[in-house]
């Protein structure tokens, strides 16, 4: 992961490899949120997670963005105050169906609107659970709103919302 820092492309990274590593090392943010890394190595890891979050927001990859928002928290950041984290949360809110479901892994891999309930559940189940887990952990004890200070002049620097 740290090898991709310093501006190298993050598009080819496997989001699950990045996030699962962060989740394991930080015990989902309940352990050492600095992962026991020195400041420089942590900074490189943060750079990759931040840029990969932005990439997933731009591509509307809902499930991956939810995992990366949680990874930001696990790295000791407040994703409700980072530009890419705010963009991810806002994208997930826009993706929700009227009943609150995230309709699939991404805009490209979403359940058909005409699907029967069981079929729709198969499309949406994992993305909904990942999003719910991420938001429960990230917002535990947090009473503020999404903070405009995360990106002066607009909500985020990734999608222009």
Token duo for residue 129: 């659970």
Confidence bin at 141 (pLDDT 50/70/90): low
Query: Torsion angle of alpha carbons 23, 58, 139, 143, nearest 10°?
Result: 150
> CA 81, CA 93: separation in Å to the nearest integer?
16
Structural contact between residues 89 and 139, judged by C-beta atoms closer than 8 angstroms: no
The model's pTM is 0.80
Predicted confidence (pLDDT) per residue in 87-114, tens digit: 999 999 999 888 888 888 988 888 887 8
Q: Would residue 17 count as lying in a domain?
A: yes
- On whether residue 159 sits in a domain, the answer given is no
Calpha distance 102→69 (Å, rounded) = 15
Q: What are 33-72's pLDDT values in tens digits?
A: 767 778 888 888 888 999 999 999 999 999 999 999 999 9
Instruction: Give domain status of residue 7, yes or no.
Output: yes
Count of domains in the chain?
1
Instruction: Please determine, for residue 150, whether its predicted confidence score (pLDDT) is greater than 50.
Output: no
* C-alpha–C-alpha distance, residues 73 and 28, integer Å: 8
Domain that holds residue 74: 2-150
């Amino acid at each position: 992961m740290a090898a991709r820092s310093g501006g190298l492309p993050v598009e080819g990274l496997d989001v699950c490899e990045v996030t699962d590593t962060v989740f394991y090392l930080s015990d989902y943010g309940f352990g050492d949120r600095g992962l026991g890394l020195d400041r420089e190595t942590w900074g490189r890891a943060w750079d990759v997670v931040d840029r990969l979050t932005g990439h997933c927001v731009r591509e509307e990859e809902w499930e991956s963005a939810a995992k990366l928002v949680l990874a930001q928290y696990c790295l000791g950041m407040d994703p409700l105050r980072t530009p890419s984290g705010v963009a991810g949360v806002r994208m997930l809110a826009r993706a929700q169906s009227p009943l609150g479901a995230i309709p699939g892994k991404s805009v490209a891999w979403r359940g058909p609107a005409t699907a029967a309930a069981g079929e729709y559940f198969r499309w949406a189940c994992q993305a909904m659970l990942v999003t719910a887990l991420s938001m429960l952990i990230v917002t535990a004890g947090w009473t503020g709103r999404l903070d405009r200070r995360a990106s002066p002049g607009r909500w985020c620097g990734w999608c222009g919302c």
